[in-house]
């Protein structure tokens, strides 16, 4: 890698060369960089924030799958950022039904200090040997005459810099500028992406005077306006991550005012102090059909690697970073970075690990856009908690005849919706099976997409939802 002068600029003033250039120092970017560096490859991470702000990201701070992270950054490195490991269930407040529904959350769960976590994964990647370039704003993607991505152009601390690399990994987050700048028209890379597949969110970290009574739960509540929800996630018994978000297809919410309004109505937040505030966009869509192009891979939020029903994506992003890095290593060793022979395996690993499940969960996200919020809340209150938990986190669930009958009795007045939900569940199961047959070679990609799109048409016809893709 090109070394740097004392002022932090490249020695030649213009060009930085590395095996891999990663854009973005979030979870996916840091795990990709750490994986590469530990195997002895030169990797540079271009991060637009300064060194102090890097790692400060708007997030709900809830971490599902806290026990299972790639070892490129040891768990011991990030564990001090796990501020509450006693959370074990979700608490759904449903004002429309004057009820509270508590459901178990399968697997290990934690609430974290996201900024502290962000700093620690950056430190972990740096200790592995990755080089971080802060205050670096990427302006364009460099491609050769064949369309292969070969680097980036950027402004670093106000000066132009060119990055030369065998592979670029896009970890730049939701609606990444890299995908707008690169010409990906001849690749399999998913370009069917627009604002309607994302949500706008805002969160505050609030210190309460007294411990909250639900410090062992993740609290959810529907918003009064638009399709969205509020969350109250306890970092500690007195430090709470509070926030809300709405789907960008809906009428915009006054996020700050709406959050303040809800906080003012909760006794436990009387006299509370706001210590941090931040907003962001995040994907609430299925994973990209393909996140590879010659010399280029997208990871994390930049590839839709988020549970579309909850917004959770930290663990998936970590593994996406690992898989992209390992695929980049294989490509570099083989001396070719085309998508067909070199990078396609990354898509397969993502779909096999979590992508298929997230795609099935997206069906329920689509379902909710087509129904009245009061009807949905009534239905939610009637569903058995254990089966609801399975549906929210695995993309599918089974219900015995007895449970179905008890649910039907409790859900009197919502039978039409519940019937539609069961039919939707069957289609989600079929979609999950189709994603489990994700093609092992791009030659079969078009046929697989056609089958998937036909099934999506059935889902839209059943739910009456507007097409999302």
The pLDDT value given to residue 291: 98
Cβ pair 343, 299 in contact under 8 A: no
pLDDT-derived band at 226 (thresholds 50, 70, 90) equals low
Instruction: Report, as an integer, the average pLDDT of 146-170.
Output: 97
Instruction: Report, as an integer, the average pLDDT of 382-396.
Output: 55
Q: Sheet containing 228-234: give its strands across.
A: 99-104, 89-94, 217-222, 228-234, 239-247, 198-207, 273-283
Of 10-14, 252-256, 303-307, 330-334, the poorest mean pLDDT is in 10-14
Q: In Å, how far are 62, 147, 215, 309, 384 from 108, measured between CA atoms?
A: 11, 43, 16, 18, 21
CA angle 127, 316, 57 (to 5 degrees): 65
The pLDDT value given to residue 421: 80
85-109+196-283: CATH topology is: D-Amino Acid Oxidase; Chain A, domain 2 (3.30.9)
Q: How far apart are CA 276 and CA 267, in angstroms?
A: 21
The pLDDT value given to residue 411: 46
Instruction: Report, as an integer, the average pLDDT of 399-404.
Output: 46
The pLDDT value given to residue 429: 94
Q: How far apart are CA 353 and CA 231, in angstroms?
A: 27
pLDDT-derived band at 65 (thresholds 50, 70, 90) equals confident
The pLDDT value given to residue 249: 81
Q: How far apart are CA 302 and CA 192, in angstroms?
A: 13
The pLDDT value given to residue 14: 87
The pLDDT value given to residue 378: 61
Instruction: Report, as an integer, the average pLDDT of 101-125.
Output: 92
The pLDDT value given to residue 225: 64
Is residue 207's pLDDT more than 80? yes
**Where in the chain do CATH 3.50.50.60 domains reside?**
15-74+115-192+286-356
pLDDT-derived band at 374 (thresholds 50, 70, 90) equals low
Pair of tokens at residue 136: 């670096």
Which element (helix H / strand E) includes 15?
strand 15-23
Instruction: Report, as an integer, the average pLDDT of 151-163.
Output: 96
**Where in the chain do CATH 3.30.9.10 domains reside?**
85-109+196-283
pLDDT tens digits for 28-56? 999 999 999 999 999 999 999 999 999 99
The pLDDT value given to residue 382: 60
pLDDT-derived band at 248 (thresholds 50, 70, 90) equals confident
In three-state secondary structure terms, 409 is helix
The pLDDT value given to residue 108: 84
Instruction: Report, as an integer, the average pLDDT of 299-305.
Output: 98
The average confidence (pLDDT) of the chain is 88
Instruction: Report, as an integer, the average pLDDT of 192-210.
Output: 94
Supply the CATH classification number for the domain 15-74+115-192+286-356: 3.50.50.60
Q: What does 286-341 look like in DSSP terms, one character per residue?
A: PPPS--EETTEEE-GGGGT-S-TTT---HHHHHHHHHHHHHHHHHHHHHT---III
The pLDDT value given to residue 392: 52
């Amino acid at each position: 890698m090109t070394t740097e002068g004392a002022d932090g600029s490249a020695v030649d003033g213009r060009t930085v060369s590395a095996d891999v250039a990663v854009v973005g120092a979030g979870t996916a970017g840091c795990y990709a960089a750490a994986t590469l560096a530990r195997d002895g490859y030169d990797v540079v991470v271009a991060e637009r924030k300064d060194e102090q702000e890097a790692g400060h990201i708007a997030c709900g701070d809830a971490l599902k799958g806290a026990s299972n992270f790639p070892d490129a950054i040891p768990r011991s490195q990030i564990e001090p950022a796990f501020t509450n490991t006693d959370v074990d269930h979700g608490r759904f407040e449903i004002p429309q039904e004057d009820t509270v529904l508590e459901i178990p959350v399968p697997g290990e769960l934690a609430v974290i200090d996201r900024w502290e976590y962000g700093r620690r994964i950056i430190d972990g990647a740096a200790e592995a040997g990755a080089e971080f370039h802060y205050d670096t704003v990427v302006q364009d993607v460099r491609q050769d005459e064949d369309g292969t991505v070969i680097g980036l152009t950027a402004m670093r601390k106000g000066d132009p810099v060119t990055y030369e690399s065998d592979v670029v990994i896009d970890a730049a987050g939701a609606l990444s500028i890299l995908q707008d700048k690169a010409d990906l028209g001849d690749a399999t890379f998913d370009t069917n992406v627009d604002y309607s597949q994302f949500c706008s969110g805002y969160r505050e970290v609030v210190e309460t005077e007294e411990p909250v009574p639900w410090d062992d739960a993740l609290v959810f509540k529907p918003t009064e306006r638009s399709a969205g929800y509020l969350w109250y996630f306890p970092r500690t018994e007195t430090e709470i991550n509070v926030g809300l978000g709405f789907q960008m297809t809906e009428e915009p919410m006054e996020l700050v005012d709406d959050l303040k309004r809800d906080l003012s109505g909760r006794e436990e937040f009387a006299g509370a102090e706001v210590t941090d505030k931040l907003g962001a966009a995040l994907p609430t869509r299925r994973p990209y059909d393909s996140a590879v192009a010659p010399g280029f891979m997208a990871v994390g939020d930049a590839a839709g690697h988020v549970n579309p029903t909850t917004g959770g994506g930290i663990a998936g992003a970590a593994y996406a970073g690992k898989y992209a890095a390992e695929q980049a290593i294989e490509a570099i060793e083989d001396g070719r970075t085309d998508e067909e022979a070199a990078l396609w395996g990354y898509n397969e690993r993502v779909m096999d690990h979590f992508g298929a499940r997230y795609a099935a969960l997206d069906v329920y996200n689509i379902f909710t856009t087509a129904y009245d919020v009061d009807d949905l809340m009534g239905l939610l209150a009637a569903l058995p908690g254990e089966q609801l938990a399975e549906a929210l986190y695995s993309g599918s669930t089974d219900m015995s005849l007895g449970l179905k009958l008890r649910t039907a009795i409790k859900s009197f007045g919502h039978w039409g919706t519940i019937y539609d939900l069961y039919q939707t569940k069957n289609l989600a199961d079929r979609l999950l099976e189709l994603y489990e047959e994700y093609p092992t070679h791009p030659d079969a990609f078009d046929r697989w997409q056609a089958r998937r799109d036909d099934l999506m048409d059935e889902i839209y016809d059943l739910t009456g939802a507007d097409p999302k893709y």
